[in-house]
Structure 1
Amino acid sequence: MTIKVGDKVPALAVKTKTAEGIQDVKTDELFGGKTVVLFALPGAFTPTCSAKHLPGYVEKAADLKAKGVDAIACLSVNDAFVMDAWGKDQKVGDSVLMLADGNADFTKAVGLEMDGSGYGMGTRSKRYAMVVKDGVVKELLVEEPGQFEVSSADYVLGKL
């Protein structure tokens, strides 16, 4: 079942790479007591994700934070090394937390997985954005396959 507005984000861990190595990021800690914009996409280094989706959030990070967003997180079904390399390639700095959902545990828990096997990608995340306040989904913006509109930074800004 797909997560919906009003639902609590599932409690589990995803990964990130820091100077100290691969670290767990527990969703309870990430979303607890904060307003977080989480956006997810099919894959690091893929065309739309690299040309539009992630760069839009990097560019609009200050605007989102000015609207009360405490953290911005990018999630993909890739490993933490790939997400770290992609973040460096995209010059993310500390504007966006790069999260790896390598086994698609979070993606499956929120019911937003897609079958990318036709493209040699296996199980991946649908493209979406969610606004989470204190662990509860306030906005859920899921793209139709092949589209990029409602999960963009500009669209999310308009929802805040």
Structure 2
Amino acid sequence: MIESGNRIPSVGIKLVTVAGVEDTTSDAALGQGTVVLFSVPGAFTPTCHVNHLPGFVANAAKMRASGVDRIVCAATNDHHVMKAWAEATNALDDIVFLADGNTALAQALGLDKDMSGTGLGRRFARAAMIIRDGIVDAVFVEDAPGVTASGAPAILMALEAAA
């Protein structure tokens, strides 16, 4: 699993932004400035949709005030699903969505999780990280169901503590 001090790997991904969908690489999307990346098992899934994403939308201004240049939500859904989720939640003004449909980034980060038992296949583990100029500053991975360590309040506290 990726750790503090590691560089973000370079794999092909799709970004969903206000401007549309863009093919790029993970290091290009996450490698400049201060980035908060949070990963969810799936768009529109109950915990991700109700508990994880909304906290980042609600705290986006506070994170930016703490020096964050970009907030990115990653999931192993395709870019069509990620775009629909971004639009349905009105989050595109605050969050960039990263589609990792083939789990290439999840695997490269060591944050992939086999959720075949629930019919979801391989997915991102629920996690978050603070990245500064392409180098991981801190990683927060949930060790139980729910959103605590990787939620917006915990990341905001970590950002404020580092300031």
Match of 1:124 in 2: 123
Q: Distance in 2 between matches of 1:68 and 1:119?
A: 38
* Conservation of the 8 A alpha-carbon contact between 1:16 and 1:84: no
* Conservation of the 8 A alpha-carbon contact between 1:17 and 1:23: yes
Q: Distance in 2 between matches of 1:33 and 1:18?
A: 16
Change (3 A) 1:119 1:155: same
2:112 aligned partner, one-letter code: E
Q: Which runs of 5+ in 1 are unaligned?
A: none
CA deviations on 1:51-107 (whole Å, 9 max, x unpaired) are: 010010011000000000000000000000000100111110220001100000000
Deviation at 1:146, TM superposition (A): 1.2
Using the TM superposition, name which of 103-112 and 141-150 deviates more: 141-150
Q: Distance in 1 between matches of 2:2 and 2:27?
A: 16
TM-score by length of 1: 0.94
Match of 1:156 in 2: 155
Deviation at 1:18, TM superposition (A): 5.4
Q: Which runs of 5+ in 2 are unaligned?
A: none
Deviation at 1:20, TM superposition (A): 7.0
Match of 1:64 in 2: 63
Matched, 1:136 2:135: yes
1:135 aligned partner, one-letter code: G
Q: Distance in 1 between matches of 2:114 and 2:32?
A: 33
CA RMSD of aligned residues (A): 1.4
Change (3 A) 1:68 1:105: same
Q: Distance in 1 between matches of 2:117 and 2:124?
A: 14
Q: Distance in 1 between matches of 2:19 and 2:35?
A: 24
Among all aligned residue pairs of Structure 1 and Structure 2, give the percentage whose two residues are the same amino acid: 43
* Conservation of the 8 A alpha-carbon contact between 2:26 and 2:105: no
Change (3 A) 1:118 1:10: same
Deviation at 1:134, TM superposition (A): 0.6
Matched, 1:88 2:92: no
TM-score by length of 2: 0.92
Q: Distance in 1 between matches of 2:139 and 2:24?
A: 21
What pairs with 1:71-110 in structure 2 (closer than 5 Å)?
Answer: 71-110=70-109
* Conservation of the 8 A alpha-carbon contact between 2:71 and 2:94: yes
Match of 1:14 in 2: 13
2:27 aligned partner, one-letter code: D
